[in-house]
Amino acid sequence: MKITAQSVWADVLEIRHHAPLIHNITNYVAMNTTANALLALGASPVMAHAQEEVADMVGIANSLVINIGTLSEKWIQSMQKAMLQAKRCGVPVVLDPVGAGATPYRTEMARQLLSVAPVAIIRGNASEIMAIVQTDPVLKTGTISKGVDSISGSESAVGAARELNRAYSAVVCITGETDFIVSNNIIAKVQNGHAMMPRVTGLGCTASALCGAFLGVNTLAFDAAVHAMVVMGIAGELAAEQAKGPGSLQLHFIDALYTLTESDIVTRIRLMPEHFLV
């Protein structure tokens, strides 16, 4: 299906009508922002980490979002257990490899989780995506990632995204000034957003959560990822028009998700037509 403003809006209406349950095993830093963003959009978030209940929670969820921002051994075990249950139940999974490349431990954990069960969408910044596949010589110096922030432009990771897609059959979403969504030699570019957004912690994690929301109503992972990035970017633009700085941007971003209209999407969408990569 061709992605248009109308297809984005149709999924927004589906989310608002059905309130899909999005199970997030995510990090302490982003948990509040992530939950509020999902609620504002119309989804139903749950943040369940205990090994005793993650499998049961996955069983009633519409999608599972795994975020490695604040790693611990117990949380990794919960993530693995949740992903295995998602595989058994046919629940789609989003993986956010936060900070991959910053330390060998993070990079290895991201790779290990990818081997546990199929992942529908991998969402990360350029440095994180490149670090997982180690296709660039710079990666071997250990300087490619600066904490959880990217020091590479999103376009620089397209080659790595294609390798990751081929290896794991997952849609790869690289977020940055331009968002690139790659799947099966097809790429889409979303150019919505605002330069202030990286100044708010947790918005990258929120992008992954929104992928989970759209994946909860759309079985086409590529379309779900593109729709999520369009809505994320437009909400950021709407918020920036009222914000005085990063603090108020976060507040207005949540409101923008809640008040988003079809007209907002039609008039603001900046989506380059999908095209085949050679």
- Count CB atoms within 10 A of the CB of residue 141: 8
pLDDT at 275: 73
**Residues lower than pLDDT 50 in the chain:** 135-151, 278
Other C-beta atoms closer than 10 Å to the C-beta of 277 total 12
Count other C-beta atoms under 10 Å from residue 242's C-beta.
13
Please give the span between the terminal C-alpha atoms of the chain, in angstroms, as a whole number: 21
Say what the pLDDT of residue 137 is: 35
HSE-CB of 44 using CA atoms within 13 angstroms: 11
pLDDT, one tens digit per residue, over 217-244 is 999 999 999 999 999 999 999 999 999 9
pLDDT value of position 153: 65
pLDDT number for residue 141: 35
Q: Say how far apart CA 233 and CA 230 lie, in whole Å.
A: 5
Pairwise CA distance, residues 126 & 210, whole Å: 19
pLDDT at 251: 96
pTM of the model: 0.92
Q: Residue 16 corresponds to which amino acid?
A: R
Helix (H), strand (E), coil (C) string for 157-185: HHHHHHHHHHHHCCEEEEECCCEEEEECC
At 152 the pLDDT is 52
pLDDT value of residue 1: 61
For the stretch 35-57, pLDDT in tens is 999 999 999 999 999 999 999 99
Domains and CATH numbers, the chain: 5-276 (3.40.1190.20)
Radius of gyration of the chain (CA): 17
